[in-house]
Chain A
Amino acid sequence: MSMINYASREINCKIVYYGPGLCGKTTNLEYIFEKVAPNTRGKLISLATETERTLFFDFLPVDLGSIRGFKTRFHLYTVPGQVYYNASRKLILKGVDGVVFVADSQVERLDANIESMHNLYENLTEYGLDLREIPFVIQYNKRDLPNISSLDELQRELNPTDVPTFEAVGVRGIGVFDTLKAVSKLVIKALS
Protein backbone atom coordinates (compact mmCIF):
# COMPACT_ATOMS: atom_id res chain seq x y z
CA MET A 1 0.00 0.00 0.00
CA SER A 2 2.29 2.70 -1.24
CA MET A 3 1.29 6.21 -0.39
CA ILE A 4 1.23 8.74 -3.19
CA ASN A 5 1.06 12.34 -2.13
CA TYR A 6 0.19 14.45 -5.15
CA ALA A 7 0.36 17.59 -3.08
CA SER A 8 3.96 17.23 -1.94
CA ARG A 9 4.72 14.99 -4.94
CA GLU A 10 6.05 12.09 -2.90
CA ILE A 11 5.84 8.34 -3.33
CA ASN A 12 6.73 6.11 -0.40
CA CYS A 13 7.01 2.34 -0.74
CA LYS A 14 7.46 -0.23 2.01
CA ILE A 15 9.79 -3.20 1.55
CA VAL A 16 10.01 -5.83 4.29
CA TYR A 17 12.91 -8.24 4.84
CA TYR A 18 11.48 -11.47 6.26
CA GLY A 19 13.06 -14.77 7.32
CA PRO A 20 13.98 -16.98 10.27
CA GLY A 21 16.01 -15.82 13.25
CA LEU A 22 19.67 -15.04 12.56
CA CYS A 23 19.32 -15.40 8.77
CA GLY A 24 20.86 -11.98 8.13
CA LYS A 25 17.96 -9.53 7.68
CA THR A 26 19.49 -6.85 9.89
CA THR A 27 22.88 -7.48 8.29
CA ASN A 28 21.36 -6.64 4.89
CA LEU A 29 20.08 -3.31 6.18
CA GLU A 30 23.34 -2.51 7.97
CA TYR A 31 25.29 -3.10 4.78
CA ILE A 32 22.90 -0.92 2.76
CA PHE A 33 23.15 1.80 5.41
CA GLU A 34 26.93 1.66 5.29
CA LYS A 35 27.26 1.72 1.52
CA VAL A 36 24.65 4.08 0.10
CA ALA A 37 25.57 7.76 -0.02
CA PRO A 38 24.65 9.40 3.30
CA ASN A 39 22.55 12.03 1.54
CA THR A 40 20.30 9.35 0.07
CA ARG A 41 19.40 7.56 3.27
CA GLY A 42 18.03 8.39 6.69
CA LYS A 43 18.96 6.98 10.06
CA LEU A 44 18.99 3.23 10.66
CA ILE A 45 16.57 2.68 13.52
CA SER A 46 16.95 -0.64 15.34
CA LEU A 47 14.63 -1.81 18.06
CA ALA A 48 16.80 -4.62 19.36
CA THR A 49 17.46 -6.48 22.59
CA GLU A 50 20.67 -6.05 24.57
CA THR A 51 22.10 -8.99 22.69
CA GLU A 52 21.38 -7.26 19.39
CA ARG A 53 18.54 -9.56 18.39
CA THR A 54 15.78 -7.68 16.62
CA LEU A 55 12.95 -7.14 19.08
CA PHE A 56 10.48 -5.24 16.92
CA PHE A 57 12.05 -4.04 13.67
CA ASP A 58 14.88 -2.23 11.94
CA PHE A 59 13.98 0.68 9.69
CA LEU A 60 15.98 2.41 6.99
CA PRO A 61 14.56 4.97 4.54
CA VAL A 62 16.39 5.21 1.21
CA ASP A 63 15.72 8.08 -1.19
CA LEU A 64 15.70 7.41 -4.86
CA GLY A 65 15.66 11.13 -5.50
CA SER A 66 13.21 13.01 -7.66
CA ILE A 67 11.85 10.94 -10.52
CA ARG A 68 9.83 12.97 -13.01
CA GLY A 69 8.99 15.41 -10.26
CA PHE A 70 8.08 12.77 -7.66
CA LYS A 71 10.33 12.37 -4.63
CA THR A 72 10.52 8.59 -4.45
CA ARG A 73 11.50 6.81 -1.28
CA PHE A 74 11.79 3.19 -0.15
CA HIS A 75 11.17 2.35 3.48
CA LEU A 76 13.12 -0.80 4.31
CA TYR A 77 12.00 -2.80 7.33
CA THR A 78 13.14 -6.05 8.90
CA VAL A 79 10.99 -8.21 11.15
CA PRO A 80 12.11 -10.10 14.25
CA GLY A 81 12.85 -13.62 13.05
CA GLN A 82 12.38 -15.58 16.23
CA VAL A 83 9.22 -17.67 16.16
CA TYR A 84 7.63 -16.22 19.31
CA TYR A 85 7.66 -12.65 17.98
CA ASN A 86 4.89 -13.32 15.49
CA ALA A 87 2.59 -10.59 16.78
CA SER A 88 5.26 -7.96 16.06
CA ARG A 89 6.08 -9.53 12.73
CA LYS A 90 2.51 -9.25 11.57
CA LEU A 91 2.37 -5.56 12.47
CA ILE A 92 5.39 -4.76 10.33
CA LEU A 93 3.82 -6.41 7.28
CA LYS A 94 0.94 -3.94 7.34
CA GLY A 95 0.89 -2.02 4.08
CA VAL A 96 3.83 -3.87 2.58
CA ASP A 97 4.65 -3.20 -1.09
CA GLY A 98 7.41 -5.74 -1.57
CA VAL A 99 8.97 -8.64 0.34
CA VAL A 100 12.50 -10.03 0.48
CA PHE A 101 12.69 -13.46 2.06
CA VAL A 102 16.19 -13.98 3.45
CA ALA A 103 16.87 -17.70 3.74
CA ASP A 104 19.68 -19.13 5.84
CA SER A 105 21.44 -21.60 3.53
CA GLN A 106 22.80 -23.80 6.31
CA VAL A 107 21.43 -27.36 6.20
CA GLU A 108 20.32 -27.27 9.82
CA ARG A 109 18.24 -24.14 9.16
CA LEU A 110 16.20 -25.58 6.30
CA ASP A 111 13.23 -26.38 8.53
CA ALA A 112 13.37 -22.92 10.09
CA ASN A 113 13.29 -21.39 6.59
CA ILE A 114 10.28 -23.46 5.61
CA GLU A 115 8.46 -22.58 8.81
CA SER A 116 9.19 -18.89 8.35
CA MET A 117 7.99 -19.00 4.73
CA HIS A 118 4.71 -20.59 5.83
CA ASN A 119 4.40 -17.96 8.51
CA LEU A 120 4.92 -15.24 5.89
CA TYR A 121 2.11 -16.67 3.73
CA GLU A 122 -0.20 -16.87 6.73
CA ASN A 123 0.51 -13.38 7.98
CA LEU A 124 0.01 -11.86 4.53
CA THR A 125 -3.25 -13.74 4.12
CA GLU A 126 -4.55 -11.99 7.22
CA TYR A 127 -4.05 -8.69 5.40
CA GLY A 128 -5.78 -10.08 2.31
CA LEU A 129 -2.48 -10.27 0.43
CA ASP A 130 -1.20 -13.15 -1.65
CA LEU A 131 2.55 -13.57 -1.91
CA ARG A 132 2.12 -14.73 -5.50
CA GLU A 133 0.68 -11.37 -6.44
CA ILE A 134 3.00 -8.92 -4.73
CA PRO A 135 6.63 -8.05 -5.54
CA PHE A 136 8.66 -10.82 -3.94
CA VAL A 137 12.26 -12.04 -4.17
CA ILE A 138 14.27 -14.60 -2.22
CA GLN A 139 17.85 -14.22 -1.04
CA TYR A 140 19.83 -17.37 -0.24
CA ASN A 141 22.21 -16.01 2.34
CA LYS A 142 25.39 -17.38 3.94
CA ARG A 143 26.54 -19.10 0.76
CA ASP A 144 30.15 -18.98 2.05
CA LEU A 145 29.51 -21.39 4.90
CA PRO A 146 30.61 -25.03 4.58
CA ASN A 147 27.45 -26.91 5.55
CA ILE A 148 24.87 -25.47 3.17
CA SER A 149 21.91 -26.85 1.24
CA SER A 150 22.23 -27.00 -2.52
CA LEU A 151 20.46 -24.34 -4.54
CA ASP A 152 18.26 -27.07 -6.06
CA GLU A 153 17.08 -28.13 -2.65
CA LEU A 154 16.42 -24.57 -1.49
CA GLN A 155 14.53 -23.83 -4.69
CA ARG A 156 12.43 -26.95 -4.30
CA GLU A 157 11.53 -26.22 -0.68
CA LEU A 158 11.19 -22.44 -0.73
CA ASN A 159 10.47 -21.27 -4.24
CA PRO A 160 7.68 -23.23 -5.88
CA THR A 161 6.48 -20.16 -7.78
CA ASP A 162 9.95 -19.46 -9.18
CA VAL A 163 10.38 -15.86 -8.05
CA PRO A 164 13.78 -14.17 -8.60
CA THR A 165 16.47 -15.47 -6.26
CA PHE A 166 19.90 -14.19 -5.27
CA GLU A 167 22.85 -15.90 -3.64
CA ALA A 168 24.38 -13.79 -0.94
CA VAL A 169 27.00 -13.45 1.73
CA GLY A 170 25.39 -10.65 3.70
CA VAL A 171 28.30 -9.97 6.05
CA ARG A 172 30.51 -9.21 3.04
CA GLY A 173 27.77 -7.45 1.14
CA ILE A 174 27.72 -10.01 -1.66
CA GLY A 175 24.27 -10.12 -3.25
CA VAL A 176 22.81 -7.49 -0.93
CA PHE A 177 22.34 -4.81 -3.56
CA ASP A 178 21.35 -7.27 -6.28
CA THR A 179 18.49 -8.27 -4.01
CA LEU A 180 17.51 -4.71 -3.20
CA LYS A 181 17.69 -3.65 -6.84
CA ALA A 182 15.43 -6.50 -7.92
CA VAL A 183 12.74 -5.96 -5.31
CA SER A 184 12.70 -2.20 -5.70
CA LYS A 185 12.25 -2.48 -9.48
CA LEU A 186 9.37 -4.90 -8.96
CA VAL A 187 7.77 -2.49 -6.49
CA ILE A 188 8.07 0.43 -8.91
CA LYS A 189 6.54 -1.69 -11.68
CA ALA A 190 3.63 -2.68 -9.45
CA LEU A 191 2.80 0.99 -8.89
CA SER A 192 1.74 1.51 -12.49
Chain B
Amino acid sequence: MAGGASSWSFEERDVQRIDRILQDFLYDAGARCALLVDRTGQLVTTAGEKPEFDSVAFASLAAADFSANDQLASMIGETEFSSLFHQGEKESMYLADVVRRVILVVLFDNRTTLGMIRIKVKAVVRELSEVFSEMFSRSAAAPQGLRVEAGFMDEAEDEIDRLFGDL
Protein backbone atom coordinates (compact mmCIF):
# COMPACT_ATOMS: atom_id res chain seq x y z
CA MET B 1 0.00 0.00 0.00
CA ALA B 2 1.76 3.13 -1.15
CA GLY B 3 1.55 6.31 0.87
CA GLY B 4 -0.65 8.07 -1.66
CA ALA B 5 -3.21 5.31 -1.91
CA SER B 6 -3.98 5.26 1.80
CA SER B 7 -4.00 9.02 2.25
CA TRP B 8 -7.16 10.85 3.00
CA SER B 9 -7.98 14.36 2.12
CA PHE B 10 -10.67 16.86 2.77
CA GLU B 11 -12.05 19.84 1.00
CA GLU B 12 -13.12 23.36 1.78
CA ARG B 13 -16.79 22.36 2.10
CA ASP B 14 -15.90 19.58 4.58
CA VAL B 15 -14.01 22.01 6.72
CA GLN B 16 -16.86 24.52 6.64
CA ARG B 17 -19.33 21.84 7.70
CA ILE B 18 -17.09 20.59 10.49
CA ASP B 19 -16.40 24.11 11.68
CA ARG B 20 -20.09 24.94 11.87
CA ILE B 21 -20.78 21.76 13.87
CA LEU B 22 -17.94 22.50 16.26
CA GLN B 23 -18.91 26.15 16.74
CA ASP B 24 -22.48 25.15 17.64
CA PHE B 25 -21.16 22.51 19.99
CA LEU B 26 -18.83 24.92 21.78
CA TYR B 27 -21.65 27.41 22.23
CA ASP B 28 -24.07 24.78 23.56
CA ALA B 29 -21.54 23.10 25.83
CA GLY B 30 -19.86 26.27 27.08
CA ALA B 31 -16.45 24.85 26.20
CA ARG B 32 -13.46 26.98 25.20
CA CYS B 33 -11.90 25.13 22.36
CA ALA B 34 -12.22 21.96 20.30
CA LEU B 35 -9.52 20.24 18.31
CA LEU B 36 -9.86 17.38 15.87
CA VAL B 37 -6.82 15.16 15.68
CA ASP B 38 -6.44 12.14 13.47
CA ARG B 39 -5.33 8.84 14.98
CA THR B 40 -1.86 9.19 13.50
CA GLY B 41 -1.28 12.37 15.50
CA GLN B 42 -1.97 15.03 12.91
CA LEU B 43 -4.04 18.06 13.66
CA VAL B 44 -7.13 18.24 11.45
CA THR B 45 -8.70 21.47 12.63
CA THR B 46 -9.42 23.64 15.65
CA ALA B 47 -12.44 25.71 16.62
CA GLY B 48 -13.16 28.24 19.32
CA GLU B 49 -10.45 30.10 21.25
CA LYS B 50 -7.14 29.84 19.49
CA PRO B 51 -4.88 27.52 21.52
CA GLU B 52 -1.90 29.28 23.09
CA PHE B 53 0.13 26.08 23.14
CA ASP B 54 1.93 24.31 20.30
CA SER B 55 -1.05 22.61 18.68
CA VAL B 56 1.08 20.35 16.46
CA ALA B 57 2.85 18.84 19.46
CA PHE B 58 -0.45 18.74 21.33
CA ALA B 59 -2.03 16.71 18.53
CA SER B 60 0.74 14.10 18.54
CA LEU B 61 0.47 13.70 22.32
CA ALA B 62 -3.33 13.55 22.31
CA ALA B 63 -3.30 10.79 19.68
CA ALA B 64 -0.68 8.86 21.65
CA ASP B 65 -2.70 9.30 24.84
CA PHE B 66 -5.85 8.01 23.19
CA SER B 67 -4.12 5.12 21.46
CA ALA B 68 -2.38 4.00 24.64
CA ASN B 69 -5.71 4.03 26.46
CA ASP B 70 -7.26 2.04 23.64
CA GLN B 71 -4.71 -0.68 24.23
CA LEU B 72 -5.34 -0.58 27.97
CA ALA B 73 -9.06 -1.00 27.23
CA SER B 74 -8.46 -4.11 25.19
CA MET B 75 -6.25 -5.55 27.94
CA ILE B 76 -9.09 -5.36 30.43
CA GLY B 77 -11.54 -6.86 27.95
CA GLU B 78 -13.16 -3.69 26.59
CA THR B 79 -13.26 -3.05 22.86
CA GLU B 80 -12.45 0.60 23.48
CA PHE B 81 -12.68 3.53 25.83
CA SER B 82 -14.75 5.74 23.59
CA SER B 83 -13.99 8.77 25.71
CA LEU B 84 -11.37 9.99 28.17
CA PHE B 85 -11.42 12.76 30.73
CA HIS B 86 -8.42 14.56 32.21
CA GLN B 87 -9.22 16.86 35.08
CA GLY B 88 -7.07 19.85 35.94
CA GLU B 89 -7.41 22.49 38.61
CA LYS B 90 -8.73 25.08 36.17
CA GLU B 91 -8.57 23.52 32.74
CA SER B 92 -9.82 20.08 31.84
CA MET B 93 -10.00 18.10 28.67
CA TYR B 94 -12.37 15.53 27.30
CA LEU B 95 -11.41 13.26 24.42
CA ALA B 96 -13.85 11.27 22.34
CA ASP B 97 -13.52 8.89 19.43
CA VAL B 98 -15.06 9.73 16.04
CA VAL B 99 -15.46 6.71 13.71
CA ARG B 100 -12.19 5.18 14.95
CA ARG B 101 -10.19 7.56 12.75
CA VAL B 102 -10.39 10.92 14.45
CA ILE B 103 -10.30 12.15 18.05
CA LEU B 104 -12.31 15.10 19.28
CA VAL B 105 -10.48 16.96 22.04
CA VAL B 106 -12.52 19.47 24.03
CA LEU B 107 -10.86 21.98 26.35
CA PHE B 108 -13.07 23.53 29.00
CA ASP B 109 -12.86 25.33 32.31
CA ASN B 110 -15.17 25.88 35.28
CA ARG B 111 -17.66 27.92 33.25
CA THR B 112 -19.27 24.61 32.36
CA THR B 113 -19.54 21.15 33.89
CA LEU B 114 -18.33 17.70 33.00
CA GLY B 115 -21.93 16.48 32.78
CA MET B 116 -22.80 19.13 30.23
CA ILE B 117 -19.68 18.35 28.18
CA ARG B 118 -20.45 14.66 28.26
CA ILE B 119 -24.00 15.12 26.99
CA LYS B 120 -23.07 17.55 24.26
CA VAL B 121 -20.06 15.52 23.13
CA LYS B 122 -22.27 12.51 22.59
CA ALA B 123 -24.45 14.49 20.21
CA VAL B 124 -21.62 16.20 18.36
CA VAL B 125 -19.77 12.92 17.88
CA ARG B 126 -22.83 11.59 16.08
CA GLU B 127 -22.88 14.59 13.75
CA LEU B 128 -19.13 14.47 13.12
CA SER B 129 -19.28 10.73 12.50
CA GLU B 130 -21.68 11.33 9.65
CA VAL B 131 -19.42 13.91 8.04
CA PHE B 132 -16.26 11.84 8.41
CA SER B 133 -17.89 8.60 7.27
CA GLU B 134 -19.01 10.41 4.16
CA MET B 135 -15.52 11.79 3.58
CA PHE B 136 -13.82 8.45 4.05
CA SER B 137 -16.21 6.58 1.78
CA ARG B 138 -15.73 9.29 -0.84
CA SER B 139 -11.93 8.88 -0.63
CA ALA B 140 -12.23 5.10 -0.79
CA ALA B 141 -14.53 5.25 -3.81
CA ALA B 142 -12.25 7.55 -5.74
CA PRO B 143 -8.71 7.13 -4.47
CA GLN B 144 -6.47 9.66 -6.05
CA GLY B 145 -2.96 10.92 -5.83
CA LEU B 146 -1.93 14.31 -4.69
CA ARG B 147 -3.77 16.98 -6.65
CA VAL B 148 -1.21 19.72 -6.78
CA GLU B 149 0.31 21.73 -9.53
CA ALA B 150 2.78 20.06 -11.82
CA GLY B 151 6.27 20.61 -10.54
CA PHE B 152 5.36 19.98 -6.90
CA MET B 153 7.66 16.96 -6.62
CA ASP B 154 10.63 18.72 -8.20
CA GLU B 155 10.17 21.78 -6.08
CA ALA B 156 9.78 19.71 -2.92
CA GLU B 157 12.99 17.83 -3.71
CA ASP B 158 14.86 21.10 -4.28
CA GLU B 159 13.54 22.41 -1.00
CA ILE B 160 14.64 19.23 0.82
CA ASP B 161 18.13 19.69 -0.64
CA ARG B 162 18.17 23.34 0.35
CA LEU B 163 16.94 22.74 3.91
CA PHE B 164 18.95 19.65 4.74
CA GLY B 165 21.76 20.03 2.25
CA ASP B 166 24.73 21.49 4.10
CA LEU B 167 23.92 20.46 7.63
Give chain A's interface residues, CB within 8 Å of chain B. Answer: 1-8, 11-14, 35-37, 40, 42-43, 45, 47, 56-57, 59, 61-62, 64-65, 67-70, 72-73, 75, 77, 87-88, 91-92, 94-98, 128-130, 133-135, 173, 176-177, 180-181, 184-185, 187-192
Contact = CB atoms under 8 A, between A and B. Distances in A.
Interface in B1-52: 1-4, 6-12, 14-16, 38-42, 44-45
A95 B6 CA distance: 9
Contacts of B160: 64, 181, 184-185, 188
Nearest to B64: A56
A97 B164 CA distance: 19
B2 A188 contact: no
Interface stretch (B88-96, B120-128, B142-150): B142-150
A36 B167 CA distance: 8
Interface string B144-167: 011111011101110111011101
B1 A128 contact: yes
B3 A1 contact: yes
- Report, as a range, how many residues of chain B touch the other chain: 35 or more
B116 to A, nearest CB: 30
Contacts of B73: none
Nearest 5 CB-CB pairs, A to B?
A: A95-B40, A190-B3, A7-B15, A4-B9, A91-B67
Nearest to A9: B148
A67 B159 contact: yes
A58 B38 CA distance: 18
Contacts, number: 158
B82 interface: no
Given A4-B146, A59-B57, A134 B64 contact: no
Contact of B7 (A1, A45, A129, A184): A1
Given A42-B56, A181-B160, A192-B152, 10 more contacts: A5-B44, A40-B163, A43-B57, A61-B56, A64-B163, A67-B155, A72-B159, A94-B67, A173-B167, A191-B146
9 contacts: A1-B8, A3-B44, A4-B8, A7-B11, A12-B42, A64-B160, A94-B67, A188-B153, A192-B4
Contacts of B60: 45, 59, 75, 77
A91 B9 contact: no
A65 B165 CA distance: 15
B140 interface: no
A191 B38 contact: no
